[in-house]
Chain A
């Protein structure tokens, strides 16, 4: 056993995180909603709910449905719009000592660029995550299913920001690797994978879809094998750090993603089940490093490939 505490920090482009565990966009609001029962300052980063140029009221209810070891959601990017997010939401979260990663959702390259400019200039944000993969709005997946459009979008945003740029990929494609390669070639510093899987459920009693939007995004333990496979494939194809997510419930799950090639992980649906999940995962990863005499978590990234 080493007496030193293991080095849990990770590097995402120019951003250094004190540990590799962040919250997944849309599952942790603007962070402060959980502040009463989660110590935000323990987290590697807080990734906030998707931000759009204009306010969005979101989809008609019901917006979620439970499925076998998972859940469907179709929130529809409800958010008060970038101006209100900067004026009303970010200052409170910024009062905590934790990096803020903004999640951007646009309907055109111009909108993403506008969002990136505003969020870079506001000074609260440590990195940008391009959500090109939301399954719950029309055109949501347009960018994520074409390497050309992905590259065009990432390149355009790259030109207007010096912040670390993360592109979040969708699993709802025939082959995720070309999207990953395109995003990296266009200047993405890191990749997040995966967003939710498109699915649906039917209420037999009412003879209607369970979710108002009809189709919805599947998350939770049910999608972990798919997410892990995506991380594995992309790790073999690109050199940038990967942020793995999809069904991570505990540190054992997180270790699987790290060993598959993720430098960091994001905890989503697990926070609904157990608000303390992300903090417990940090503890579990640290414990694993101690138990196995590792000087840092970094030495585990991708080890399952060799």
Chain B
């Protein structure tokens, strides 16, 4: 983890309300792993006060750049996407846990993987797909991407280009299958071709994915969100209910959790 001053190189609107920010962040880019995030300070103000956690969508390690997919949902993210090119942003990162990879201790046998993205949740999964592709004996990657409408399939080409197979669904049917990404997941799990599922998206969606994987006996890892203070594990602000009682910290114990580590019922209760 480092605190790095990062020049904003470009800011491109990729969908209504969504921008991809490119930042010069050589230190963070050099050791970022898929699933980790950066904690971004909104420049030159104490109002809004706190940093904003944003997933790393892609580090361009060779150039030393980071790409962040940012959705302007409130005051802080709006100020971020409106930041003039050339501004130095103060980033803390890379923070949190990464997705465990096939071949590693937790997933030594995994050969086929499913990436399940909902809307904005695509960001860390683009990085994961990119990482998987770059591995020596790389696993077969199927990407599932769902959103409300075609417009909100943000950065789908980035995602699709890194998957071996790619499936799209929209709730209004404007692109791909009509329905939810979990409908596509049902079919995939029934074929029994997934050794592990990685997911990121709205909480209700991830809860459903977690349940489906649990029922199918497939390992599932999800990338979680919670309001944060410090981002480094010190303040206990970002607690979410853990399976078996107590809480885990999204910033340090997560944001990537094995799905069965979380108490989904309590989580759904709190939202």
Contact = CB atoms under 8 A, between A and B. Distances in A.
B91 to A, nearest CB: 11
Chain A contact-residue range equals 35 or more
A62 B227 CA distance: 7
B246 A57 contact: yes
B71 to A, nearest CB: 16
Contact of A64 (B46, B48, B227, B252): B227
B156 interface: no
Nearest to A74: B237
A26 B50 CA distance: 16
Given A27-B230, A57-B246, A274-B41, A63 B236 contact: yes
A26 B235 contact: yes
B107 interface: no
Contacts of A185: none
Given A64-B237, A78-B236, A71 B92 contact: no
Contact of B49 (A26, A34, A69, A73): A69
Nearest to A23: B234
A70 B48 CA distance: 8
Given A64-B229, A272-B230, A73 B46 contact: no
Contacts of B252: 33
A222 to B, nearest CB: 8
A221 B49 contact: yes
A75 B237 contact: yes
B270 A212 contact: yes
Contacts of A271: 230, 234
Interface in A240-295: 249, 269, 271-276
Given A58-B247, A78-B247, A276 B229 contact: no
A62 B226 contact: yes
Contacts of B240: 61
B227 A275 contact: no
Contacts of B241: 60-61
The A interface is mostly helix, strand or loop, or mixed, namely loop
Interface in A40-74: 49, 57-58, 60-66, 68-71, 73
Interface string A183-216: 0000000000000000000000000000010000
A249 B46 contact: yes
Contact of B92 (A61, A73, A275): A275
Given A57-B245, A70-B49, A63 B237 contact: yes
A273 B51 contact: yes
Nearest to A76: B236
Contacts of B41: 273-274
9 contacts: A26-B235, A27-B235, A49-B236, A61-B241, A63-B236, A63-B238, A66-B227, A73-B229, A271-B234
Interface of A: 26-30, 33-34, 36-37, 49, 57-58, 60-66, 68-71, 73, 75, 78, 212, 220-221, 249, 269, 271-276
Given A61-B270, A63-B238, 19 more contacts: A26-B236, A29-B233, A34-B232, A36-B1, A37-B1, A37-B2, A60-B270, A61-B226, A61-B240, A62-B227, A63-B237, A66-B48, A71-B229, A73-B237, A75-B236, A78-B236, A78-B239, A273-B41, A273-B51
Interface of B: 1-3, 41, 46-51, 90, 92, 226-241, 245-247, 252, 270
